[in-house]
Structure 1
Amino acid sequence: MKKDTRMGLPTLIWLGFSFIAGITFTASFASIVGSSDNEAAKGVGIHILWIFAIEGLVAFICAWAFARLIKVHPTANGGASQYVRTAFGDFWGLFMGLINYAVIPLVAMGLLVTMVRNNFGSGSVIELFGKNGIWGSWGKLYLDLISLAIYSVAAAILFFGIRKYKIVANVIGYMTWSITILIMIVGIVVFSGNGFSGLEHYSNPENIDLTFFNFNNAFVSCFFAFCGLESFITVGNNIKNRGKNMPIAMTIIMIATTIFYIVFTLILMGAVTSGFDENPNIQVFGQSSPFLKAFGGWIVILCTVLMRFNSNLQVTLFGGSALEPMASQGFLPEKVSIKNKENVPVAGVITSIGIVAITFILFMLIPDIIEGATGNASPFDYATIAAATSIMLISVYLMVLGTVLIQGMRKNIKTTWYENTGWIIALAFLVLQFFMYFFDRIRQLIKGIESMNGIGSGNGISDVLGAIIPIIYFLGVIAAIFGIYYLYYKPKRAKWLANPDGVSKMEEINLNFRILNETEIQTIMEEEKKIDEYWLEIKNNHLQAKKAKKLQNS
């Protein structure tokens, strides 16, 4: 029997939740919630719970903007670049496309940090870096090079074919969620034995430092945990009744993800009563017996490495695929979008691997070498890399929120007053977070310079690097946008417009960058209804044939 390959609402919700939610968000808890190291700075403590609630609300408002824009565009898989180009022109389409793409190498850095390094810090089954680490100040460098080697293996798989990858991905997915459930069960058991001592620790004002800057740092670092909707939203063409199901799915996914993060955080706080280390998920097992700590710790490490291996493969493939739309619009050479027999854009993947390697040198290799030589801790842990990634994503969301508001003002989209109010509030809040992040980098730079001159208690060159590298990365992306547009795309577009074939190509490209009218939207809905009726008839005929065969055999 033929099968309907479109995703229904339940499948859409599960895939979206699995794509966004995960357990590695806890890797930043030592620096933003509260550390077990008495010399470390205090964190936001119990306040992380309502910060997660705000994060979920802001992410939902952004997701709603995506869902509303999907409904009025010809294709649902163009993503934010399509919406922005439709509203503001080709330059801003390229701007959004490259900003969105620039997130991918930073996501890869977050994956590399949590894949190996965070599993062998303080509180782990084996401590390889840090004050008591076996490898001392060079430990992070060795572990990060191991992560890079594992990433290289994951990336290489793409060139040998990925037909069986779905099976591997599903197995790893089941293992990951099984480990997550195990951690939660053990955490609840330990929580019940501890009573409320853990929650009292994180609620104690002596252990909390909820300043304006610490709130912003916690928000930006944890916002990374809600990343993924900007990519997941592009599956809109492959779901049943996208206009109805996508908003419902986004609502349920964001509510479920927020609840999961809050509940998981509560369990960790109840189980880990004296502050967090590099990997709080391992600490849950260490609160009971040495055997359980070793057994559970190695299970978590194995699960984390497998999960990050899987994620790195996805990120590399997505990085190559993300360049394809820009190539099809003429922003990049067409060979970037050419796929091999296994449907892999080889040139795009190679480009992404190269950019990831450059990003690795900036954010990990150079700081690790300086830490090994000077003993000053690298400024780039999971929290700081997650914050840098979040800022790039916030840039994406700011432009999408601005786009949906502009299209509403132009009457191209019918919006309500409460939608506009929510989008404006979210826009203003994210603008504040954006500027506060870079203001904090300037403060860090000044602190580092002062420390190098013997003033204050900063980390010298490490603070300087921690401040300027994210700024260099952001400005480098902006420079690339202007360079590609004015030095490559504009001359190429002029050649296209100089001949009939080129004009036809531009007209074909521009067909995807317009707002559908009510008649076109209604036509799409009617076509989707006919498809639903077709598959329902196929299903009913199959059931009737099955019943008839059963009666005949009896």
Structure 2
Amino acid sequence: MEVTGVAQESLEDSPKDPAALHRRLTSRQLTMIGIGGAIGTGLFLGSTLAISHAGPSAVIAYVLCGLIALVISWALAEMVVVHPDAGAFGTIAHSYVGAWAGFVIRWTYWFGQVIAIGGEVVAAGIYIQFWWPQVPLWIPVVAFSVVILGVNASMVSIFGTLEYWFSMIKVTAIAVFVILGVVLIFFGLPGQPAHGLSNLTSHGGFFPNGVSGLGLAMVFALFSYIGTEVVSVTAAESKNPRHDIPKAARQMVLRMGLFYVLAILVIVTVAPWTVAAQGGTLGSSPFVRVFAAANIPAAAGIMNFVVITAALSSANTNLYVTTRMMHSLALHRLAPRWTGRLTRRGVPRNALVLSALGMAAATLLSVRQNSQAYLVIFGVALFAAIVVWILILVTHFVFRLRRTKLGLPDSPVRLLGAPVTSGVAAVFLTAVLLSTFFVPGLDPAWKFGIPFFVLLLAIYAVVRRRTQGDKNLLTAELERHQNLP
């Protein structure tokens, strides 16, 4: 299938097209890359904010948001197994909804993830201050940024291997954390009696701030799952995308949901939620504070190392994703052509440099606002991410509708209950997006978000002529289907 203006990679290890990405990622690497992109500061640091609003009922927020993430991943898998192309959901939106949708969703995703990368390195710097509180925040931010840039400049197979082990550290640490938490809750340790379940209902009850507190916690819980779409973006560099993408997406979300819910449950059970939340400030991770409250200082230090690894792993993966998204935009002539050029190692180097702007912005913010830089970055990144998820669901709806009307075969992967499940997810996401307006500290999301989309649409009005004459994925598949004997 040949598509003009869209990267069409063969399943060979080194494609003939010099602009095509290399397929070198295995199934296990895809799963761990997805986990690496999603399990980061949203869980290890952002959970502080969720618990500060909802108390123990934050567990419910993580359950509900996990179900939404599952719908998103399933919808993406359904579309990507049919079109495992560069740009993933952005390219599919371009083909099914329209060039404007492909432009908006990809640039929004790129911008949101670039900002989120800055948030991850700021969070890693905050964790460093657990050991060395006198170190200026900008110093570790700069150091970590240089390391992440170096890893992403290497061959994609090297990146995949490193990210696999980074993610394995996170998964193993969360599993150990949950096991140790269960021991503390029900059995106790030498010199530490069993904590029991009293912390779930004391200090104001299970819903200390009522349903409204739970609603606000949804904002921060949802951010913990942002990144589940990463697996779909790796389709263009997967060795066997039609088999590996659905498998990786399913395993990733189920593992994440289980780890998230159990981890938050342990946090609010082992320590009073008022201690875990630390007044809603971002001085350290609640995972570390739980171990400190349990008088296990060595474990607290080890856990702090783990959460630093988690933040850097998430930043590393998200930088990989943003460079691929810009590469896709360049192939559609919706970004400067030079951003689509690859090195001999198959890395979009110019796109990588531009995608590092978030880390540069994080450095400046860390100098001026210290740890509050994370909250500012959080709000802007969350706004962009929720909009992208809503557009993914819209694309999925149009994907099914148009394929049915054109008589094209169904995807081998189908989202159960759609369009009801996807519709409910879209309403939920819209409600969470609106609620950010009422969360103190997240007002930059609206101040920057709305002007950003107005600017995007204005730019598209100027560059849209570049996409005229493109033969998109849907048109090419329809022609191939009609030519079959």
Name the counterpart of 2:7. Answer: none
- Could you tell me how far 1:337 is from its partner in structure 2? 1.1
State the alpha-carbon separation in 2 of the partners of residues 399 and 519 from structure 1.
27
Q: Residue 433 of structure 2 aligns to which amino acid in structure 1?
A: F
Conservation of the 8 A alpha-carbon contact between 1:45 and 1:203: no
> Counterpart of 2:347 in 1: which secondary structure?
coil
| 1:32 maps to 2:50 | yes
State the alpha-carbon separation in 2 of the partners of residues 306 and 416 from structure 1.
33
State the alpha-carbon separation in 2 of the partners of residues 416 and 317 from structure 1.
27
Q: Aligned pair in 2 of structure 1 residues 521, 312: CA closer, same or farther (>3 Å)?
A: farther
Name the counterpart of 1:527. Answer: none
State the alpha-carbon separation in 2 of the partners of residues 327 and 11 from structure 1.
26
State the alpha-carbon separation in 2 of the partners of residues 11 and 320 from structure 1.
18
| 1:149 maps to 2:143 | yes
| 1:408 maps to 2:400 | yes
| 1:54 maps to 2:101 | no
| 1:67 maps to 2:77 | yes
- Could you tell me how far 1:406 is from its partner in structure 2? 3.0
| 1:475 maps to 2:450 | yes
The residue correspondences of 1:234-313 to structure 2 (distance < 5 A) are 234-236=233-235, 238=238, 240=240, 242=242, 246-247=245-246, 249-273=248-272, 275-276=275-276, 277=278, 278-289=284-295, 292-293=296-297, 295-313=298-316
Name the counterpart of 1:450. Answer: none
Name the counterpart of 2:9. Answer: none
Q: Residue 33 of structure 1 aligns to which amino acid in structure 2?
A: I
Unpaired segments ≥5 residues, structure 1: 35-42, 129-134, 369-377, 445-462, 494-505, 524-554
Q: Residue 352 of structure 1 aligns to which amino acid in structure 2?
A: S
Give a deviation string over 1:109-155, Cα, whole Å, max 9, x none: 331232121453xxx566x3xxxxxx5xxx7xx22443233213432
Name the counterpart of 2:117. Answer: 108
State the alpha-carbon separation in 2 of the partners of residues 22 and 104 from structure 1.
13
Q: Residue 27 of structure 1 aligns to which amino acid in structure 2?
A: L
State the alpha-carbon separation in 2 of the partners of residues 260 and 170 from structure 1.
17
Of 182, 200, 203, the residue aligned with 1:202 is 200
Give a deviation string over 1:391-425, Cα, whole Å, max 9, x none: 32211111121222234344347689931111111
Structure showing greater Rg: 1
> Counterpart of 1:172 in 2: which secondary structure?
helix
Conservation of the 8 A alpha-carbon contact between 1:107 and 1:389: yes
- Could you tell me how far 1:71 is from its partner in structure 2? 4.0
Of 12, 20, 25, the residue aligned with 2:38 is 20
Name the counterpart of 2:460. Answer: 485
State the alpha-carbon separation in 2 of the partners of residues 327 and 435 from structure 1.
32
Q: Residue 398 of structure 2 aligns to which amino acid in structure 1?
A: I
State the alpha-carbon separation in 2 of the partners of residues 160 and 15 from structure 1.
16
Conservation of the 8 A alpha-carbon contact between 1:119 and 1:279: no
Name the counterpart of 1:96. Answer: 105
- Could you tell me how far 1:518 is from its partner in structure 2? 11
Give a deviation string over 1:209-238, Cα, whole Å, max 9, x none: 344543332112111221222221233463
Conservation of the 8 A alpha-carbon contact between 1:27 and 1:280: yes
Name the counterpart of 1:323. Answer: 326
Q: Aligned pair in 2 of structure 1 residues 482, 13: CA closer, same or farther (>3 Å)?
A: closer
Give a deviation string over 1:28-72, Cα, whole Å, max 9, x none: 3333214xxxxxxxx312212222111111111122221222244
Q: Aligned pair in 2 of structure 1 residues 174, 434: CA closer, same or farther (>3 Å)?
A: closer
Conservation of the 8 A alpha-carbon contact between 2:41 and 2:120: no
Give a deviation string over 1:243-284, Cα, whole Å, max 9, x none: x76545534432332122111222223332462143122223
Name the counterpart of 1:391. Answer: 383
Q: Residue 148 of structure 2 aligns to which amino acid in structure 1?
A: A
State the alpha-carbon separation in 2 of the partners of residues 234 and 78 from structure 1.
6
State the alpha-carbon separation in 1 of the partners of residues 305 and 373 from structure 2.
23
Q: Aligned pair in 2 of structure 1 residues 200, 380: CA closer, same or farther (>3 Å)?
A: farther
Name the counterpart of 1:537. Answer: none
Q: Aligned pair in 2 of structure 1 residues 247, 490: CA closer, same or farther (>3 Å)?
A: closer
- Could you tell me how far 1:522 is from its partner in structure 2? 13
> Counterpart of 1:303 in 2: which secondary structure?
helix
State the alpha-carbon separation in 2 of the partners of residues 55 and 151 from structure 1.
30
State the alpha-carbon separation in 2 of the partners of residues 233 and 205 from structure 1.
42
Conservation of the 8 A alpha-carbon contact between 1:183 and 1:284: no
Name the counterpart of 2:177. Answer: 183
Aligned length: 444
Q: Residue 143 of structure 1 aligns to which amino acid in structure 2?
A: L
Q: Aligned pair in 2 of structure 1 residues 154, 221: CA closer, same or farther (>3 Å)?
A: same
Q: Aligned pair in 2 of structure 1 residues 387, 48: CA closer, same or farther (>3 Å)?
A: farther
Q: Aligned pair in 2 of structure 1 residues 405, 117: CA closer, same or farther (>3 Å)?
A: same
> Counterpart of 1:58 in 2: which secondary structure?
helix
Give a deviation string over 1:357-391, Cα, whole Å, max 9, x none: 23654x544433xxxxxxxxx65545x64454333
State the alpha-carbon separation in 1 of the partners of residues 421 and 116 from structure 2.
28
TM-score of the aligned structures, taking structure 2 as reference length: 0.78
State the alpha-carbon separation in 2 of the partners of residues 163 and 18 from structure 1.
15
Q: Aligned pair in 2 of structure 1 residues 78, 288: CA closer, same or farther (>3 Å)?
A: closer
Conservation of the 8 A alpha-carbon contact between 1:320 and 1:348: yes
Name the counterpart of 2:17. Answer: none
Q: Residue 50 of structure 1 aligns to which amino acid in structure 2?
A: I
Structure showing greater relative contact order (alpha-carbon pairs closer than 8 Å, 6 or more residues apart)? 2
Give a deviation string over 1:179-231, Cα, whole Å, max 9, x none: 33443343333323267746422323625434454333211211122122222
State the alpha-carbon separation in 1 of the partners of residues 234 and 66 from structure 2.
21
- Could you tell me how far 1:320 is from its partner in structure 2? 2.4
Q: Aligned pair in 2 of structure 1 residues 230, 258: CA closer, same or farther (>3 Å)?
A: same
Q: Residue 473 of structure 2 aligns to which amino acid in structure 1?
A: N
RMSD between aligned residues: 3.7
State the alpha-carbon separation in 2 of the partners of residues 312 and 89 from structure 1.
30
State the alpha-carbon separation in 2 of the partners of residues 156 and 14 from structure 1.
20
- Could you tell me how far 1:20 is from its partner in structure 2? 3.4
Q: Aligned pair in 2 of structure 1 residues 166, 431: CA closer, same or farther (>3 Å)?
A: closer
Q: Aligned pair in 2 of structure 1 residues 100, 22: CA closer, same or farther (>3 Å)?
A: closer
